[in-house]
Every structure is written in C-alpha cells, then in structure tokens.
Copies of this chain bind each other. A is one copy, B any other.
Amino acid sequence: MLRNVSRKGLRRRILGLGLGKEKSASSFSQFLKSPTRLVSLDHPDIWTLPPPPTTASSCSNSTASVIDGRLIAEEIRLGIASEVRRMKESIGKVPGLAVILVGQRRESQIYVSKKIEACNEVGIKSISTKLPECCTEDEVLNVLTSFDKNPSVHGILVQLPLPPHLNEAKILNAISLEKDVDGFNPLNMGNLAMRGREPFFIPCAAKGCVELLLQSGIEIMGKKAVVIGRSNIVGLPTSLLLQRHHATVTVLDAFTRNPECISSEADIVVSAAGVPNLVRGSWLKPGAVVIDVGTIPIEDPSCELGFRLTGDVCYEEAVRVASVVTPVPGGVGPMTVAMLLFNTLESAKRVCDF
C-alpha cells in the first residue's frame, strides 16, 4: 500500500523473474489471500440457543392477524385440481411426480406421504420409490435416470436430507433441469438470482413464503426484509426471490453479531434457521410481518405421530408485537406442498405445450 511501481518497473520485475528469480510452485498460492476453494469456508451454522420463553397462559394481548396457510394452500390446490382436470379432458394427459425416499427417517416418510396424498387429491399422478438407508449412490442415480427418461414423469423430487454417505450435490445434479420441481439445481438457482433470467422452477418453500405475503396483500417492494438462515433449500432462494420483488434483504446467519437488533428493524421477517424459539418478541419491530418457515420436529408422545412441529418463532411473544404471523404447523408448510404441485403442473404444461 505504501509505494507505487511504474508499469515499466513491473515489466522489468516480471522480466527479472527469468533471471534465476523463479518463484516456486509452492509460493503460487501465497499471492492471493482468497481461499482456493470456497467450500472450505462452509462452516456450519450453530446458533446460540436463546433461553426458553416464560410460558404465557393466554394470548390476550395478541395484536397480530394469523395467516391461515392451510386455507390459502387449499384454494391453490383447488385451482390446480381444476387445471389438471382441464388438461386431462383436453389432451388426455395428467402431470406426473416421482418421489425418491432414501432411508427410514420418520419425518421424511411423513413429508413424502403428505406430498403423495396431495398429488392424489388434485389428480397429479405420483410414483414413489423407497430405497434402503444403506443404498449406493449408483442405485439412487439409476432410479433417477429411469424417472428422467419416463415421459409421464414431469417432476422428480429427492426427499432431503439424504444419508451422509450419499453425495447430495451429485444426486440433485442428476435430475434434469426440466424436471427439477424443487428448483435446487444450481443453474436454476443462478437464474433465480440474476436479473433478466428466468428459473425453470422457483423453490417451493421460497415461493410459498412470497405467495403467502402476496395473498395477504402485504407489499414487498421497498420493504426491509430479513431472512434468518441461509440454507440452499429455504434461506437462499427466499432471499433471492424477495430481492426479485424489490425488497431490501439482509440474510442473517449464526455468525451475525446482534441478529436481534438487525431483525427488529425489518418490516418482514422470514425465519428458516431451524432453531425453536430463536426469534423472540424482542427480535421484532412492532407491526412487522413474520413468516415462520421453521418446522422442527419435537418428540411428543401425546401426538398421534409421536412428535409435533414447532417453528423458529416464539409464537406467543410474536403475536403481541407483529401485525401478521404465520403459525407452525399450518403456515408455510401447506404452501410448500401446494407450490410443489404447482411446479409439477407447470412442468407438465410446458412439456405438453398446454
């Protein structure tokens, strides 16, 4: 930073290199401070767990409207069902979704069965393949390839997370872009990020969040939005989609200093950190809109399924501060499934030119 060498001087220095002043290969990496591989930067997000909230026995101070995600999703599914029926009657074809589930993870099994059930309900044909936890990458890829070649399959979904011995990126990449209804292919994500580009599919949870805002009449353009969490599945695409809608977006992660302060300045808070009760009342600006994408299974023998879902947001505190909140369950969850159906329908319509 201190001195300036003329261009001529540099040329002389470069030429000088030939005179026995050759740098060794090992010194090559030293002239850039940037890491050779970005993956080396991928530290896990470990959030500091907040103290549990004091149980509020009633929500009598509640000021927030609660967005009924189930009802909005239902209306959308109704529209999809109508369109599927029109497609069948017009061209004799229906959309098809193929789902691959690896292993016995309980929540994954439930999510897959919910998706299949939702397909059946709206008339989308579904195929599911279950593979054992110990299956090989090739076995998964073989199933994917057969779905990819099947013209009656318009969408392919690999339920995440995969067992750790399988390469998630490699498997997701094997889904052809035209059938990647989850929208997790990096080309699709790049097209979502870049102005002037159009992704084939908008990832379902992100689209579900924004659709909830739009259906609830909440303006996005020019608003300060905070997205908590930066997963490839939710946080990243949601931040990109909100930016496409001209929100001013800040992405918070576990490395953020004083996230509470930043969050409490936002008009719209979308939380997808996967940490129960992370977002307390003090994280919210009075009148903020709160979209809770957290869906963390908590053991609960009193529930039919043996667990209940909880969100990132401390609901009983949020309803006293925010103007609008989404519940968990019954908020973003049903919307995510509806958007999967929507993407599958869109895919079929694109292929069939309908």
A residues with CB within 8 A of B: 1-5, 7, 10-11, 13-14, 17-18, 22-23, 25, 27-28, 30-34, 37-39, 41-43, 65-68, 70-72, 74-83, 85-86, 121-123, 168-169, 185-199, 202, 207, 210-211, 214-216, 221-224, 230-232, 236, 240, 243-246, 248-253, 255-257, 259, 262, 342
**Seed contacts A22-B86, A32-B211, A186-B193; 19 additional CB < 8 Å A-B pairs:** A1-B66, A1-B71, A3-B71, A5-B74, A13-B78, A14-B78, A17-B78, A17-B81, A22-B82, A25-B86, A31-B80, A34-B207, A38-B202, A41-B244, A43-B246, A189-B189, A189-B194, A190-B191, A222-B255
- Using A3-B71, A190-B185 as known contacts, say yes or no to A211 and B33 having CB atoms under 8 A apart: yes
Question: Which residues from B are CB-within-8-Å of A38?
Answer: 192, 198-199, 202, 244
Is A14 a contact partner of B190 (Cβ separation < 8 A)?
A: no
Question: Which residues from B are CB-within-8-Å of A189?
Answer: 189-190, 193-194
- Using A75-B31, A248-B252 as known contacts, say yes or no to A230 and B243 having CB atoms under 8 A apart: yes
Q: Kindly identify which residue among B11, B13, B196 contacts A232, using a CB–CB cutoff of 8 Å.
A: B196
Is A196 a contact partner of B169 (Cβ separation < 8 A)?
A: yes
- The distance in angstroms between the C-alpha atoms of A243 and B187, with both chains bound, is 19
Q: Which 7 A-B pairs have the closest CB atoms?
A: A31-B79, A186-B190, A190-B190, A33-B214, A189-B190, A23-B82, A250-B250
Is A5 a contact partner of B71 (Cβ separation < 8 A)?
A: yes
Q: Which residue of B lies closest to A225 (CB)?
A: B250
Question: Which residues from B are CB-within-8-Å of A80?
Answer: 31
Is B253 a contact partner of A248 (Cβ separation < 8 A)?
A: yes
- Using A71-B5, A232-B196, A236-B193 as known contacts, say yes or no to A85 and B34 having CB atoms under 8 A apart: no
Is A196 a contact partner of B168 (Cβ separation < 8 A)?
A: yes
Q: Which residue of B lies closest to A28 (CB)?
A: B83
Question: Which residues from B are CB-within-8-Å of A85?
Answer: 17-18, 22
Q: Could you write out 18 A-B pairs with CB less than 8 Å apart?
A: A1-B68, A14-B122, A17-B82, A22-B86, A23-B79, A32-B342, A39-B198, A42-B195, A42-B196, A185-B190, A186-B193, A186-B194, A189-B193, A190-B193, A230-B243, A246-B253, A248-B262, A249-B251
- The distance in angstroms between the C-alpha atoms of A257 and B220, with both chains bound, is 12
Question: Which residues from B are CB-within-8-Å of A66?
Answer: 1
